[in-house]
Structures are given as C-alpha cells and as structure tokens.
Homo-oligomer: A and B are copies of this chain.
Amino acid sequence: MCGIVGYIGPRQAVSVLMQGLKQLEYRGYDSSGISVLNASSIKTFKKIGKLVNLESIVPEKNRAKVGIGHTRWATHGKVTDENAHPHVSNCGKISLVHNGIIDNYVSLKDELIKKGYTFDSDTDSEVLVHLIHYYLNGDPVSAVQKALERLDGTYGVGVLFADYPDLLIGARNGSPLIVGVGEGEMFLGSDASAFIGLSKQAIYLDDGEMVVLTSKNYKTINRHNKIVDKKVEQVEIDTTENLKGDYPHFFLKEIHEQPDSIRRAIGGRLLPDFGTAKLGGLNLDKRDFFDIKRIHIIAMGSALYAGQIGASVIETLARIPTQVFDASELRYSNPIVDKETLFIAVSQSGETADTILAVKEIQNKGGRVLGVINSVGSTLARLTHGGMYIHAGQEVSVASTKAFTNQVMLLNMFALVLGRMRDVPLSRGKDLVKEIMAMPEKVEEALKCGEIVKEIAYKYKDANSILFLARGTNYPVALEGALKVKEVSYLHAEGFSAGGLKHGPLALICPETPSIFVITEGEYFEKMIGNIIEVKARDGKAIIVTTSSDERLKELADDYIKVPEVDELLSPLVTIIPMQFFSYYISLALGRDIDQPRNLAKSVTVE
C-alpha cells in the first residue's frame, strides 16, 4: 500500500529517499515520487509505474539535505503522474505526502476552490497541502495542526516547507508513521524498512500525534500541542532477509522458507512431556481461560482463512464455539461483545486498517483482543491486550505464504493449550506435540511436489477458471488456494465446500474449468469421493491433492498430487503447499508480475 519516507540530515536526501522507496517497493504501488528542498526551493519528481521510471527522471547529483518520498496505491483518482505524491501547494512552497483516506475531501475541495486554490490532481490528499497553505501564518507546526483538525478520515503525512529548510513535519492518525532517530539526522517512514541500514532507533507515533523534526532534534506533540514523551525503541529488521538469493521471485523463496519459518513458530513453545504448549505474551492468567465461552477471530484475506482453520481446530480440541469475522464487516455491524468472548485479531503486517478499526470497535465495547501478528512493534501488536508473534520473518511477496502457514501453526498451538486445559488427555496432547514437532520435516517433504505441480499448472494455464473444493478443516485451504490463484495469476478461481458444489457452482463445470480437490482421510472421505465422481460425470477435470494413499483417488484423478500423511488437524499445513506452487507456476506460465501483482498492496493500510 502507500509508503512514506522522509529525511533530514547531512546526507544527500535524494539517495536516502530512493533507497527508502526501494525498501518500501514490495508493499505494492502504482506510482512514486519525491520532493527535495534545495536553496529554499522545492523540486518534485513523480512518475507512474515502477521505481525505475522515477529513477530515470531524478537527477543523479543533487545537494538537497531534506526531502520526502512516496509510493502510491491509488484510492482516489486514477494512476497518473499528476495523482502521484508529493503534492505541492499552488505557491510551490509546501510539499506533502499522505497515506490514508480523507472522507470529507469533496466538501473541503469545494471550499478551497471557492477560496481560489487550483487543483492539479484528482486525489483526496491534495486538499491537505492547500489547507496547510491556507492556515500558514508564520508557524508551520500550527498550520499543519489546524489543517489536520479539518480532516475526517485517516492519515500518515510528511510535510516540507521551502521557507523552513531545517524542518520536516510528520503526523499520524490511522496510518502508521515511524520516526528514525539518528546522530544528527532524522528519518520518517511508514514502516521501519524505509530507513533500514541507516537508523536502528525508532519512535512509533500513535494516533493523533505529530512529530517536528530538525536534523539534530525531534519533538513529539499531541493534538493539544502538548509534548508527549515517546520511548525510543530498537528496530530489529535484518536487511539480508530482503534478498531473493537464488530464487527468481520472493514468492517462490518464501514458499521454500516454510519449513524454517514453521520451526521458528514452534521453537521454544512446546512442552513435550506435558503434551501442550507455552505461549508467552498472552498477558492472560491461565485461570482467565476458564471463563472463555466463545472465541471470535477477526481478520481479512489470507489471515481470515488461517483463522477459519484455527476455528475448526479450536472447536475440535477445546470444544469452544469459535467464529471468524471479516473485519471490514464486523466494524460496522454493531458487534455484540461480552465478557465471556475472547477476540483474536490475525494480521501479518499488524497494520491492516480494516482489522485495526474492528479491534478498536471491540475494545471500545470492552472486549478483550489478542493478536496473532508477524510484524513486531506494529500498530496491532501494540494495540492488543497481548498476543502471539508468528515469527515468519519478513514476507516480501504481496501474496502471503509463510505468514499464512505460521498463523495456522500458532492457532493450532493455541487450540492445543485450550484443549489440554479442558478435555484433551495427556496422551493425545503428547501425540499432537509430536506431530507439531514433525511438521517442518513434513512440509519439507511436501515441497518435493513442486516439479509435478509445475507440469500440472502449465497444463491448465488456459483454463477459463478454476474451482477449489474441500471439506472440514481443509475447506479454508480451498478458499486460500483460490485466493492465491486470483491474486497472482488474475485467473478467476473460487473455493467452495465440496458439499455446496451441487447447490449451484456445479453449473460452471466443463472441460475448460478444472477442479482442485483437497481430500484427507477422515469423516468426509467417502463423501468427497462422491463429489469427485459428480464432477467427473459432467466431463470436469479433477486435480486431486491428498494425504491419503487410497487407490481410488489415483484412478479418479486427471492429475494426482500426494502430500505426506499427517494428523487431520495439521493437514492444512501440507495440503496448502501444492496450492501455493500451483498459483506460482500458473502465474509464471501466464507471465504475471508475481511478487507485485497488479492492483494489490502488501499491507492494506486503508479501509
């Protein structure tokens, strides 16, 4: 999603900003730009498309020591050079970058036009730079404050003033903004990767806070202009993780990292002798768990499907009714909150706006929310009562893989803890711990299907669309598999409960629309066989992904993918692997931009 970078200090601002934008690149964007301040004059460069386009118009040598930069993911206004940020005031003396959405921009724009301002773009953001100009009367900080007060909506902003060369202002409300504190230099970033390798000291702004930077100093203030004391925290991001290594794409690299990332998820958290797990950071007394009568999981996208798998496992092991909510729906549904319900928010980035706002709604209603999050120190991590980090490491590909599997693993371990507190006996607990410990190896083994799946994906690259079908704990795997295909290949794929197929979607079945079945041993096995036969009877193609060795599946399958046998509850961690490969290779066959698919962004920081 949109990214912000800002710099003030002794270095060449242009190269700091360009490096920062490069680091933010993976978040997904459609245009980019920078403004730098040089001898009381602001120079702005903006360009649609990839960063190389911007690089081609930015001067290689430029002595500016202060500047702001932005990668844009369009919300208001099409993808054009004019709509890219920074936006500059009519006088040319104020430049601004903005993340978020200004809900009341139409009325503000009308008002400003009446006051004589002209607009160069169709964005909501541009109103803010004109508002700041309108309120500017000798005090830039007060002008920014007054302008921000007029906004309904969300923002993370960086502002530059031609007449104040040693000043950079940042502010946050709903969109993350982080200050990098250096020695005689200061940074701004929408996340800490914007100044990676340049500063390891950071201040995380909270909503309603503003930061006033000079090269030597920073001052954080709240809406009432009161100084706020902020803790300077150590940033832990390893730049080397950012390298693709021998892999052609981050997506493929991250698929292959899953044995290791799962190892990190379970590392130090299992108690084999007691057949349970120990999850630090929950900030809940174990006795509090006795009062939990219901669990509500809140998430979006892949995290939502991870939540659905978690819900199924929690209900099975702990017998606690667990429901999963689309956060964007929950926020506006006037949710029913009570003391006996535990809420769990799942988000890779911890910056998902829909999820954050739903969590705030729940918290305002007195609900207790835990987080299942990847990004340490992210907004959600700090907002929630407690939580579990999934330790997937930085995920660069827009389409999630290792974060998804680690979310599933964490929720599995959480289910085990709850289950063991209730009716799961020691012996079953020990078995499950053993199974969990074996998962990195099982996933390693599952990764061997890559070559077979590649062939299958190439074979079906001209499909009209693709159906994904499963039941039970693997039903969300079908949903996630279909989402992966949509995201990266732009082919329409959709997941259904195999039982739901004949209630409508079966009409889509024809030789050009293959179906991918995920089938494991257990309650549903015979019914799934029946569903596969239904599809075959209508000349549909069946690609079968299975943990089972039942010979009938080989006979029925047009294409057959075997993954290791594992406990039904943990099976999503291996059945998802061929889905990930399938979406990767079909996208490769179709020549897609795999790591940065069109229209999408890595962390979705607007509602």
Q: Which A residues have a C-beta under 8 Å from some C-beta of B?
A: 74-79, 101, 103, 106, 300-302, 304, 312, 315-316, 319, 321, 323, 326-329, 332-334, 336, 354, 399, 464-465, 471-472, 475, 483, 486-488, 490, 492, 494, 497-500, 502-510, 513, 523-524, 526-527, 530, 533-534, 536-539, 552, 597-601, 604, 606-607
Contact of A502 among B336, B486, B500, B600 (CB under 8 A): B600
Rounded to whole angstroms, the CA-CA distance of A543 and B45 in the bound complex is: 36
Rounded to whole angstroms, the CA-CA distance of A604 and B530 in the bound complex is: 14
Contact of A75 among B487, B513, B523, B537 (CB under 8 A): B537
In contact, B500 and A78 (Cβ under 8 angstroms): no
Rounded to whole angstroms, the CA-CA distance of A1 and B141 in the bound complex is: 71
Residues of B with C-beta under 8 A to A598: 507, 538
Residues of B with C-beta under 8 A to A328: 471, 497-500, 527
12 residue pairs of the A-B complex, CB under 8 angstroms, read: A76-B537, A103-B526, A301-B504, A302-B503, A315-B333, A329-B472, A464-B492, A490-B507, A492-B508, A492-B513, A502-B604, A530-B607
Rounded to whole angstroms, the CA-CA distance of A334 and B333 in the bound complex is: 29
16 additional contacts (CB under 8 A) given A332-B524, A399-B504, A483-B504: A75-B537, A78-B537, A103-B526, A304-B500, A312-B333, A319-B336, A321-B336, A323-B323, A328-B527, A329-B472, A486-B507, A487-B504, A488-B507, A490-B507, A504-B600, A538-B599
Smallest Cβ distance from A524 to chain B, in angstroms? 5
In contact, A492 and B490 (Cβ under 8 angstroms): no
Residues of B with C-beta under 8 A to A475: 329
Q: Kindly report which residue of chain B lies nearest to residue A74, judged by CB atoms.
A: B537
In contact, A332 and B472 (Cβ under 8 angstroms): yes
Residues of B with C-beta under 8 A to A301: 500, 503-504
Smallest Cβ distance from A508 to chain B, in angstroms? 6
Residues of B with C-beta under 8 A to A492: 464-465, 492, 494, 508, 513
In contact, A533 and B76 (Cβ under 8 angstroms): yes
Rounded to whole angstroms, the CA-CA distance of A536 and B526 in the bound complex is: 46
Rounded to whole angstroms, the CA-CA distance of A326 and B101 in the bound complex is: 36
Residues of B with C-beta under 8 A to A500: 300-301, 304, 326, 328
Rounded to whole angstroms, the CA-CA distance of A499 and B504 in the bound complex is: 25
Residues of B with C-beta under 8 A to A323: 323
Residues of B with C-beta under 8 A to A606: 502, 530
Q: Given that A507-B487, A537-B78 are known contacts, is A334 also in contact with B316, CB under 8 Å in the complex?
A: yes
Rounded to whole angstroms, the CA-CA distance of A529 and B312 in the bound complex is: 35
Residues of B with C-beta under 8 A to A507: 486-488, 490, 597-600
Q: Kindly report which residue of chain B lies nearest to residue A400, judged by CB atoms.
A: B504
Residues of B with C-beta under 8 A to A607: 499, 527, 530
Q: Kindly report which residue of chain B lies nearest to residue A552, judged by CB atoms.
A: B106
Rounded to whole angstroms, the CA-CA distance of A527 and B153 in the bound complex is: 10
Rounded to whole angstroms, the CA-CA distance of A329 and B607 in the bound complex is: 31
Smallest Cβ distance from A1 to chain B, in angstroms? 8
Residues of B with C-beta under 8 A to A487: 504, 507
Rounded to whole angstroms, the CA-CA distance of A607 and B464 in the bound complex is: 27
Residues of B with C-beta under 8 A to A600: 502, 504, 506-507
Smallest Cβ distance from A27 to chain B, in angstroms? 13
Rounded to whole angstroms, the CA-CA distance of A506 and B304 in the bound complex is: 16
In contact, B523 and A504 (Cβ under 8 angstroms): no
Residues of B with C-beta under 8 A to A526: 103
Smallest Cβ distance from A380 to chain B, in angstroms? 15
Rounded to whole angstroms, the CA-CA distance of A79 and B533 in the bound complex is: 12
Residues of B with C-beta under 8 A to A465: 465, 492
Residues of B with C-beta under 8 A to A494: 492, 494
Q: Kindly report which residue of chain B lies nearest to residue A294, judged by CB atoms.
A: B321
Rounded to whole angstroms, the CA-CA distance of A494 and B103 in the bound complex is: 28
Contact of A300 among B483, B503, B604 (CB under 8 A): B503
Rounded to whole angstroms, the CA-CA distance of A586 and B503 in the bound complex is: 20
Rounded to whole angstroms, the CA-CA distance of A76 and B526 in the bound complex is: 13
Rounded to whole angstroms, the CA-CA distance of A527 and B334 in the bound complex is: 16
Q: Kindly report which residue of chain B lies nearest to residue A83, judged by CB atoms.
A: B537
Rounded to whole angstroms, the CA-CA distance of A505 and B597 in the bound complex is: 11
Smallest Cβ distance from A385 to chain B, in angstroms? 21
Rounded to whole angstroms, the CA-CA distance of A552 and B604 in the bound complex is: 25
Smallest Cβ distance from A64 to chain B, in angstroms? 31
Smallest Cβ distance from A199 to chain B, in angstroms? 31
In contact, B329 and A471 (Cβ under 8 angstroms): yes
Residues of B with C-beta under 8 A to A333: 312, 315, 472
Rounded to whole angstroms, the CA-CA distance of A527 and B101 in the bound complex is: 10
In contact, B502 and A601 (Cβ under 8 angstroms): yes
In contact, B354 and A336 (Cβ under 8 angstroms): no
Rounded to whole angstroms, the CA-CA distance of A445 and B377 in the bound complex is: 54
Residues of B with C-beta under 8 A to A597: 507
In the A-B complex, the 10 residue pairs with the smallest Cβ-Cβ separation, listed nearest first, are A328-B499, A301-B503, A74-B537, A465-B492, A332-B523, A506-B599, A300-B503, A492-B492, A487-B504, A483-B504
In contact, A490 and B504 (Cβ under 8 angstroms): no
Q: Given that A76-B537, A328-B498, A492-B494 are known contacts, is A509 also in contact with B319, CB under 8 Å in the complex?
A: no
Rounded to whole angstroms, the CA-CA distance of A333 and B103 in the bound complex is: 43
Contact of A354 among B334, B499, B505, B534 (CB under 8 A): B499
Q: Kindly report which residue of chain B lies nearest to residue A335, judged by CB atoms.
A: B315
In contact, B472 and A490 (Cβ under 8 angstroms): no
Rounded to whole angstroms, the CA-CA distance of A227 and B354 in the bound complex is: 63
Q: Kindly report which residue of chain B lies nearest to residue A77, judged by CB atoms.
A: B537
Contact of A505 among B316, B399, B486, B537 (CB under 8 A): B486
